[in-house]
Amino acid sequence: MDFGAHAAPMKHSVIPKKLQVRPRTRVQLILFALLGIYLIIAPTIELKYFLTQGKPVELPGSMPESEDLINSGVDGSKETVIEGEKLYKINGWSFLTVATDLADYDIYLVLRSEKRDYVFQTTPTGRRDIPRVFPEFNLDLKNSGFNVYIAKEALRVGDYQVCFLYINKETGQRYFQETDRHIIRTPNRLELVKIQ
Amino acid sequence: MDQTRDFINRILETRAARLIYPFIAPLLFGLYPAFYYYTKNATMVQSASFGRVVLAYVLLILALYLVFLPFHHFNGTRAANSVSVFLLFFNTYGIIYNELRDADIFRIEHLTLLPLLLLMAGYALWFTMRLAKKQAATLWKGTVILFTALMVLTVLRLIPIEVKKARIQREANRQVEAAAIAEAPSSYPDIYYFIFDEFSGVEAMRQYFHNTEVDEFKAFLEDNGFFVMEDSFSSSNHTVHQMAVRMNYTEYEYKQGDQPIWHEALANARGIALLESKGYTTMVFEEISMLHPTLPDIHADYLFHYNYATEGDMGILFDEFGMLVADTTMLYAFDDFYRLGNPADQAHKDFIISLQERLPNLEDIPSPRFVYTHLMIPHQPFMFDRNGDLVDVTFFQNWNYYEGQYIYTMKYIEKMVTRILANADPARPPVIILQSDHGARIRKNNQELKGFPQEMLRNILFAVYLPGYDTSTLTQDENPINTLPIIFNHYLGEDIPLQAPNLQGTEEGD
């Protein structure tokens, strides 16, 4: 008897036999692919949906040219935790030499790279030493200190020049100043450095 | 002989034995890190702390074994191999995390590294499950042989340390022979000897931190009659070594493994014995045992430890040693849970704050008094910021917070000194010594603070308030070993030879 003639026809895969993978291998490949996707998107999801602080602000308009009108110093940076989120706190002082009152201005710290600027709102703090160091300025410098909080995840890895931006609250006039301080964002840290 | 062998074989062939004896492999494998870290820190870690960690590990390993047994159809050898493989990843996670983060080549977060290593562990477990019977038996045997050998080596290293520890403990516990106590002349002043652990000399604060508040601090001290010695250096960077040296005015050679000798010397300090023989009431307020829990009680009329002891009850699993071990494992990804609200940190804070009230008000203690106070500030944990507010627990070990705690310590000292002097009898003013054991040990490999001048590691705080003493005879580079002799010679009529400055010393010591 020839059973062959009545046997069900074999299903032929369109994938060449050499490239076919066994189901178990397929499961592993899927697992690795899922992990790969997770590793890529997890930091982005964390930044977008879980980190609420230390993010840059969007300012319309372009940055003006750097003028020599802002005196400043960046004293240090260190990690801190605000409401459970790990951030870098940058502190220092600055003042606009042509201002009559620093309270008239919104003050921003700008991190500038070749590709883009990140703008962070600063919080004024008291400084007793600055009025003593700059007695020649007819300006109340008691609150010339600042703190700014930066989430390192908000920056791409790279070298950023620290700059200051003053915007007059009433007129909108802008003053911009580059400094010799840089912040380097490495994969795991933010480092404040001084470029000679 | 053959009968015995047959008997053992028969027992090993029983179903129960076949489930129990394979457990030895993951037990040895899993416990090895705890033994390793204990051996490295045996002179500083109490056996109770070690016992708690071992117990926790045994329970974890047992739980894992019970979980894996059904997966392997109750084949003990295979389940044991699986537990060992999982423990390999569990026990090394913290080390891998820190090494990769320090290398700073790519972004490392618990969020991503933990799932990655868990998947790798799962994959390794899957491979282990697929091993042939013979291969599984070989893997099990290899684990047992290797880790038995490592354990034996570890225990052999431990034995002399434990023997030395026990001997010193026995000696320290022995009653000190009662010294002939004389009636104290009323002219003897009260003596306050303060040690602020890790308080850097002021020059390092100026040079490295560009801190100007140290100059205000120095001016405060000088305005209040203190003599400040800026160029004073310790002879090592080990706390117990330094305090044994100073309290006995004897320069002990700095040798690794001699901690028990320094412990004993500090516990039975010559300086305290001499003061007691002169009729002083001696008081010790110390936090050294916070980091050196094996230090025996310092003999004094009154001894106040900081209010947390890990011995005597079940204590907490995550004390200093527990955290050291946990930080190397997968638990490190959840370290907030075992660091937050740590009772040892709370006790430290309470001790520091309560002494500010207690020390200036010792009228209830008979005079003259010798008050030796050793506080762990500005030493880690860096829990206070410059205003005395609490720093987030995440940064208790972060050197970026050293300066803040240093500034707080300066304010603390100012307040303490002001209160002691305000409450003192003007006719019999006290002697006050402000000192640190060693400088800020910000070494070359410090991740947070780079470029700290290494020649400043041993530069210490050394300021003295010596009423009636001609401080022009003191030098800026005074050797701290002379601290008690200077006082004893002048106020108690002793004649103890003084030592030359510490130009050379060892930077070693943790």
ipTM of the complex: 0.78
Per-residue pLDDT of chain B in tens (510 residues, 90 and over written 9): 677 878 777 777 777 788 888 999 999 999 999 999 999 888 778 788 899 999 999 999 999 999 999 989 999 999 999 999 999 999 999 999 999 998 999 889 999 999 999 999 998 998 898 899 999 999 999 999 999 999 999 999 888 888 877 776 666 555 444 444 556 666 899 999 999 999 999 998 988 888 889 999 999 999 999 999 999 999 999 999 999 999 999 999 998 888 889 999 999 999 999 999 999 999 999 998 888 888 888 999 988 877 555 444 445 677 778 888 999 999 999 887 777 667 778 888 888 988 988 899 888 889 999 999 999 999 999 999 999 988 888 888 889 999 999 999 999 999 999 999 999 999 999 999 999 999 999 988 888 888 899 989 999 999 999 999 999 999 999 999 999 999 999 999 999 999 988 767 777 766
| pLDDT at residue A2, as a whole number | 46
Give the whole-angstrom CA distance, residue B58 versus residue B280.
51
List, in sequence order, the alpha helices (H) in chain A: 23-45, 129-133
Please tell me the distance from the alpha carbon of residue B36 to that of residue B111, in angstroms, as a whole number.
29
Query: Sign of the CA dihedral B477, B482, B484, B486?
Result: negative
Q: Which residues in B lie closer than 8 A to residue A76 (C-beta atoms)?
A: 400
Interface check A173 vs B, CB under 8 A: no
pLDDT at B87: 96
Pick the residue from chain A with its C-alpha nearest to B112. Answer: A39
Distance CA B353, CA B412 (A): 9
Query: Residue A6 pLDDT more than 60?
Result: no
Q: How far is residue B411's CA from residue A117's CA, in Å, rounded to a whole number?
A: 41
User: What distances in angstroms separate CA B6 from CA A41, A89, B12, B19, one per listed residue?
Assistant: 61, 72, 10, 19
pLDDT score at B7? 78
Write down the pLDDT at residue A3. 44
Q: Please tell me the predicted confidence (pLDDT) of residue B289.
A: 83
On chain A, the residues whose CB falls within 8 A of the CB of B107 are 43, 187-188
d(CA B38, CA B324): 10
A7 vs B372: CA distance, rounded Å: 98
Same domain for A41 and A79?
A: no
At A11 the pLDDT is 56
- Residue A9 confidence class, pLDDT cut points 50, 70, 90: low
Interval A131-138 mean pLDDT: 90
* Same domain for A167 and A87: yes
- Is the Cβ pair A43, B112 closer than 8 Å? yes
| Number of alpha helices (DSSP H) and beta strands (DSSP E) in chain B | 18, 7
pLDDT value at residue B187: 81
Of residues B101, B395, B400, nearest to A188 (C-beta): B101
Least confident range of A145-159, A168-182, B246-260, B344-358:
B344-358
* CB-based contact A129 B212, cutoff 8 Å: yes
Interface residue ranges in chain B relative to chain A, Cβ cutoff 8 Å: 101, 104-109, 111-112, 115-116, 119, 123, 212, 392, 394-395, 398, 400-401, 448
Residue A7 lies in a domain: no
pLDDT of residue B308: 52
In angstroms, the CA B244 to CA A30 distance is: 63
Residues in chain A within 8 Å Cβ distance of B123:
28
Residue-wise burial string across A145-158, b where 16 or more C-beta atoms lie within 10 A, e elsewhere: bbebbbbbbbbeee
Instruction: Name residues whose C-beta falls within 8 Å of residue B478's C-beta, 6 or more positions apart in sequence.
Output: B229, B232, B462, B501
Which one, of B476, B475, B462, B412, lies nearest residue B432 by Cα? B462
CATH top-level class of B189-310+328-491 = alpha beta
Same domain, A101 and A29: no
Max Cα–Cα distance, chain A, nearest Å:
114
Q: CB-based contact (8 Å) between A187 and chain B? A: yes
Q: Are residues B322 and B383 in contact, defined by beta-carbon separation less than 8 angstroms?
A: no
CB contact under 8 A, B111 and A46: yes
**Any idea which of A44-48, A176-180, B270-274 has the lowest mean pLDDT?**
A44-48
Which A residues in the span 6-45 are in contact with B, Cβ-Cβ below 8 Å?
Answer: 28, 31-32, 35, 38-39, 42-43
Q: Tell whether A22 and A82 lie within a shared domain.
A: no
Using an 8 Å CB-CB cutoff, list chain A residues near B112.
38-39, 42-43
What ranges in B233-385 are assigned the alpha helix state H?
239-248, 259-267, 270-277, 288-291, 320-326, 335-339, 343-358
Range of the domain at A173: 70-194
Backbone φ and ψ of A125, nearest 5°: -135, 160
Look at residue B25 and give its three-state secondary structure.
helix
User: What is the pLDDT, as a whole number, of residue B173?
Assistant: 58
Q: Which pLDDT belongs to residue A45?
A: 87
A186: distance to nearest CA of chain B, Å? 7
Count of Cβ atoms closer than 10 Å to residue B469 Cβ: 17
- pLDDT given at position B147: 96
- Tokens matching residue A90: 């940058």
| Distance separating alpha carbons of residues A171 and B244, to the nearest angstrom | 68
What's the pLDDT band for A117 if we cut at 50, 70, 90? very high
Co-location of A111 and A164 in the same domain: yes
**Domains held by chain A: number:** 2
From the candidates A29, A38, A78, A191, which should be mutated to test the interface with B, based on the most B CB atoms within 10 A? A78
Q: Comparing A196 with B36, which gets the higher pLDDT?
A: B36
pLDDT of residue B181: 53
Q: What is the mean pLDDT of residues A163-175?
A: 95
| Closest chain A C-alpha to B395 CA, distance in angstroms | 7
Contact between residue B190 and residue B371 where contact means Cβ atoms under 8 Å apart: yes
pTM of the complete model: 0.70
**Among B105, B125, B392, B393, the residue to mutate for chain A (most A Cβ within 10 A):** B392
What angle (nearest 5°) sits at the alpha carbon of residue B463, between those of residues B459 and B465?
Answer: 170
**B125, two tokens:** 């477990």
Separation of alpha carbons A152 and B183, rounded Å: 66
> In B208-319, which ranges are continuous DSSP H helix?
213-223, 239-248, 259-267, 270-277, 288-291
pLDDT of residue A21: 66
Q: Which of A27, A53, A79, A155 to mutate to test the interface with B (most CBs of B within 10 A)?
A: A79
A116 with A168, same domain?
A: yes
Q: Which of A28, A78, A188 sits opposite B400 (nearest CB)?
A: A78
Number of H helices, E strands in chain A: 2, 9
Whole-number Å distance between alpha carbons of A92 and A188: 23
Residue A181 sits in a domain of what CATH number?
Answer: 2.60.40
* Domain chopping of chain B, boundaries: 2-165, 189-310+328-491
Any bridge partners for residue B390, and if so which? B384
Task: Kindly report the average pLDDT of chain A as a whole number.
Answer: 87
In our burial notation (b when 16+ CB lie closer than 10 A, e otherwise), range B329-356 reads: bbbbbebeebbeebebbebbbebbeebe
* Chain A closest-CA separation from residue B13 CA (Å): 35
Flag whether pLDDT at A188 surpasses 80.
yes
Identify the pLDDT of residue A128. 82
